[in-house]
Chain A
């Protein structure tokens, strides 16, 4: 097993793919922090499912499989999906959860219809579009990896440059508006970043599970720190680690989609954080609880001692 992994690491192509997946995990982890703080974690899931019809239409119109075109198709579909959600919640009594569910499954249904159309039309059998459901990092070619590199650097760089603005919008949009920040624009920008992260992630992780790359590392990081900057760094590291683990394991085992392995790696990191996180982790809480109990008992005993002595003196 270990020899196999080392063998894979020596292959230059695999090195590129590994790097691409790590950067992807890094940038989704960073974007995910903002999504988590803005209570929009499941938005990533909706955007990913909604991207499917966009990708299919882009493929049907052009007949080529290029990540740039897919990005445009998925971006437009994501835009329609977010508009749909906000319209449904604004103009009817349905709440956000139902609106997201409707848009997510409705778009995915349309996407499946288009996907089967492409597959039945013959040209699609080699298109490899079905790999998009669960991701297959091994099927990426060097131009895909190059796009992923550029996009990941762009995402991480923009978050670094706009850190202050995005932070303010995530924590207190009302105050940000009062200070004269273009809040609506920044919110749209964050949504746009999320669409990009999701679309680029689809090829490595797949439509169904790409949301986990946005959610799980961010939540894991939240267990270790209370500072946004630190949380973003940690979340990025967790994301990169899961991406690396998923890619390596999937390359070592034949016939294994990358997405589920990456997600499981992220979940493993989450479980460790859930247990071992300082102050918020389950173990730390248990210890705190026991200590508080012991202190309380000790305090009661100290109080209890003078009581009989007082009784004697009277």
Chain B
């Protein structure tokens, strides 16, 4: 049974990240996702210290606020003349440092473990269950991830056209009257929520791996946005399964193995993608050359 819950949690994390990651990769903002996943840490710590529990609602709100603060600060520094990558670096390291200090200061009183925040412990998720709507035995992480996933699917589904246009041509989107900034902050808020609901299971740092690597892999395999989202979910879930069984075999960190599996899948796509892969392009070029010399 524990296998089932671990795989379900991992797959839900992968699905949340995959959907949002597609838009981050397309908007060339992968590293903003990286920054958000680091800088939600003080939000998690403050929400935890205020509420005294790992109560999901508090953490989701705290993280969403911190995520928006991150994006706002990056924008602010960038406008005041700092290069965008440097402003990303300043903001996330500062906020992450605040988070680590808050956790270290209170490490004695609370059971919020730094290691847990960083790598997560997906193996323990199924012990931490709560009763919601009279249903027992469902881990808390699954409830939280389920809520986030439904929210993401709803928002992206409702505003699919708007998100699509903002991803490919923000200028045109603004010209036809779509509030580009609003959708930008909406996306970033959802990224922070996804990070927080995943941090207990895969950790704040490795969640970035699932946010960036599967969508990039999917990007190499297709040119259509809809297909890209589906593919990226499938690749994320596949990395979860491969990673989990590899971790069991190697007796190593499950989250680490999941990201390594995602990287392995990316390398496969990089080499063998039908339209983009290095090997496939080489083969097709050789074939064309042979045809050319034959004729």
Is residue B260 within 8 Å, beta carbon to beta carbon, of the partner chain? Answer: yes
Q: Could you tell me if B253 and A116 are in contact, using CB atoms closer than 8 angstroms?
A: yes
When A42-B89, A104-B34, A215-B89 are in contact, do A112 and B212 touch as well, CB less than 8 Å?
no
Q: Could you tell me if B216 and A42 are in contact, using CB atoms closer than 8 angstroms?
A: no
Is residue A31 within 8 Å, beta carbon to beta carbon, of the partner chain? Answer: no
Q: Could you tell me if A211 and B89 are in contact, using CB atoms closer than 8 angstroms?
A: yes
Near A by CB (< 8 A), chain B positions 56-89 give 77, 80-83, 85-89
Q: Could you tell me if B104 and A215 are in contact, using CB atoms closer than 8 angstroms?
A: no
Near A by CB (< 8 A), chain B positions 236-295 give 247, 250-253, 255-260, 262-263, 266, 270, 276, 278
> By DSSP majority rule, is chain A's interface helix, strand, loop, or mixed?
helix
- The range of chain A's interface size is 35 or more
Is residue A257 within 8 Å, beta carbon to beta carbon, of the partner chain? Answer: yes
Residue among A36, A91, A116, A274 making CB contact with B252, cutoff 8 Å? A116
Is residue A282 within 8 Å, beta carbon to beta carbon, of the partner chain? Answer: yes
A14 to B87, CA, bound (A): 33
Contacts of B276 in A (CB 8 A): 92-93
> By DSSP majority rule, is chain B's interface helix, strand, loop, or mixed?
helix
Nearest-Cβ distance from residue A99 to partner chain B, whole angstroms:
8
Near A by CB (< 8 A), chain B positions 99-148 give 100-101, 104-105, 107, 114-115, 118-119
Near B by CB (< 8 A), chain A positions 89-143 give 91-95, 97-98, 100-102, 104-106, 108-117, 120, 130, 133-134
Q: Could you tell me if A112 and B28 are in contact, using CB atoms closer than 8 angstroms?
A: no
Nearest-Cβ distance from residue A210 to partner chain B, whole angstroms:
9
Contacts of A212 in B (CB 8 A): 89-90, 93-94, 97
A115 to B203, CA, bound (A): 15
Q: Could you tell me if A120 and B86 are in contact, using CB atoms closer than 8 angstroms?
A: no
Q: Could you tell me if B29 and A97 are in contact, using CB atoms closer than 8 angstroms?
A: yes
Contacts of A79 in B (CB 8 A): none
Residue of A nearest to B27 (CB): A97
A263 to B91, CA, bound (A): 11
A92 to B216, CA, bound (A): 10
A280 to B278, CA, bound (A): 46
Interface centre among B83, B118, B247, B262 (most CB of A within 10 A): B83
Residue among A215, A255, A259, A282 making CB contact with B86, cutoff 8 Å? A215
Is residue B31 within 8 Å, beta carbon to beta carbon, of the partner chain? Answer: yes
Residue of B nearest to A218 (CB): B86
A103 to B205, CA, bound (A): 13
Contacts of A264 in B (CB 8 A): 94, 97-98, 101
Contacts of B107 in A (CB 8 A): 255
Q: Could you tell me if A211 and B93 are in contact, using CB atoms closer than 8 angstroms?
A: yes
Is residue B156 within 8 Å, beta carbon to beta carbon, of the partner chain? Answer: no
Contacts of B5 in A (CB 8 A): none
Is residue A25 within 8 Å, beta carbon to beta carbon, of the partner chain? Answer: no
Q: Could you tell me if B94 and A42 are in contact, using CB atoms closer than 8 angstroms?
A: no
Q: Could you tell me if A108 and B100 are in contact, using CB atoms closer than 8 angstroms?
A: no
| A-B contacts, 30 listed (Cβ < 8 Å) | A42-B89, A88-B270, A93-B219, A93-B220, A97-B28, A98-B30, A98-B212, A101-B33, A104-B34, A105-B205, A106-B209, A108-B205, A108-B206, A109-B209, A110-B260, A112-B206, A116-B256, A120-B252, A130-B115, A134-B100, A215-B89, A216-B89, A255-B107, A256-B105, A261-B101, A264-B97, A264-B101, A267-B93, A267-B94, A280-B81
